Amino acid sequence: MSFWIIDLITALLSFVIAGVSGIFLVPFLHRIKFGQPIKTEDGPKWHAKKQGTPTMGGFMFIISTVITSIAGYWIYRWKTGIDTTDKDSFKPFYLLLSVLVFSAAFGLIGFIDDYTKVARKKNDGLTPWQKIALQLVCGAGFLFAVRCFGDKSTKLDLGFWTSPSLGIFYYILMMAVIIYLTNAVNLTDGVDGLCGSVTFVAMLIFTVCCSILKQNEMSCFTMALAGGCLGFLLWNLNPAKCFMGDTGSMFLGAAVTGVGLILHKHLLLLLAALVYIIEALSVMIQVLYFKYTKKKYGEGRRIFKMTPIHHHFEMSGFSEYKIVITFSLCGIIFGVLGIITLIVF
């Protein structure tokens, strides 16, 4: 059986599981009143009508990804006849498992945050420092696991340039990448269908890169998550019947970051995740400029109408569908550039 056929079957099964699970999950979340609290200062005022939309819908693609990525991997091993007596042959599985556990751990952090919000009936869950502390622990565990399972390189691979070995500083830098990028993906979840669509594109890009880099086992995970995101979008496209919540967005953030770090192609990760990076960067620029102008002129000024930047476009008249399509197309363009860097360099 062709490797690509296994990937497509994995994605299709994940799509079905995620999509069908919504039939049961969405009414259940309604029944237990797990609705999303909305703060109008965090988005356009018209988002107030989304108050009470069920959250934690990320469980749809989390469940489908865990089941189908593991199933897809074992089908791949079975059909390719890999020698199961060779201990080294299990390293790809351990790396796949590392990404799954890493993503699930971040999903758990998001779940705690979501549950706290719902319990308090406010849009305030864990404090930023509580989140960062938990993320640091999970990130350190992931980097340790990846090193144990074979990737001991501490060089930055930017395609056109590879750094000298950075030693412990490499892991410090990667921890910063994990914190920034996982929270950047979380920030991207602010418009119906946006985070799921952009991540669907990112996982397709990573699948092609896994093939180029001969890391076929990892594509079982990327295609499983791509299919899961697509199934979730049946419930999340505007008007959303369910939100992924931090449960879902934190899972996706860890998944994107984890796959990029395991492939050990840092320029590729930068390009494949550039939409998320720009989203978080827009918030940083807005805050810094506001503080600077307030100190200099006595009043804070803004560069964007609202951040993250998808809200700027929304305030400028873009429909939610148009934002999703525009950002997804940008993700495709950046991702294709990432693929080209692998081929050229």
Q: Give 143-180 as a DSSP string.
A: HHHHHHTT------B-SS-BPPP-THHHHHHHHHHHHH
State the residue for tokens 């594109």.
201
Bridge partners, residue 35, by sequence: 54
- Residue 54: strand, helix, or coil: strand
Return the pLDDT at 32: 87
Name the band, by pLDDT with cuts 50, 70 and 90, for residue 210: very high
Calculate mean pLDDT across residues 37-54.
73
Query: For residue 225, which of 171, 192, 185, 265 has the smallest C-alpha distance?
Result: 185
Return the pLDDT at 39: 64
Calculate mean pLDDT across residues 305-324.
95
Return the pLDDT at 126: 86
Return the pLDDT at 40: 54
Calculate mean pLDDT across residues 302-330.
96
Q: Is the pLDDT of residue 120 over 80?
A: no
Q: What is the pLDDT of residues 162-180, one digit of tens each?
A: 999 999 999 999 999 999 9
C-alpha torsion sign, points 259, 265, 268, 274? positive
Name the band, by pLDDT with cuts 50, 70 and 90, for residue 41: low
Name the band, by pLDDT with cuts 50, 70 and 90, for residue 125: confident
Q: What percent of the chain has pLDDT over 90?
A: 79
pTM: 0.95
Is the CB of residue 3 less than 8 Å from the CB of residue 216?
Answer: yes
Calculate mean pLDDT across residues 283-301.
94
More confident residue, 112 or 43: 112
Return the pLDDT at 86: 65
Annotated binding site: 186, 246
Return the pLDDT at 118: 82
Calculate mean pLDDT across residues 262-266.
96
Q: Cβ neighbours of residue 123 under 8 Å, at least 6 residues apart?
A: 37, 38, 39, 42, 117
Annotated binding site for Mg(2+): 186, 246
| Stretch among 60-69, 220-229, 262-271, 291-300 having the lowest mean pLDDT | 291-300
Bridge partners, residue 54, by sequence: 35
Q: Is the pLDDT of residue 34 over 70?
A: yes
Q: Cβ neighbours of residue 309 under 8 Å, at least 6 residues apart?
A: 278, 279, 282
Q: Is the pLDDT of residue 201 over 60?
A: yes
Calculate mean pLDDT across residues 58-79.
93
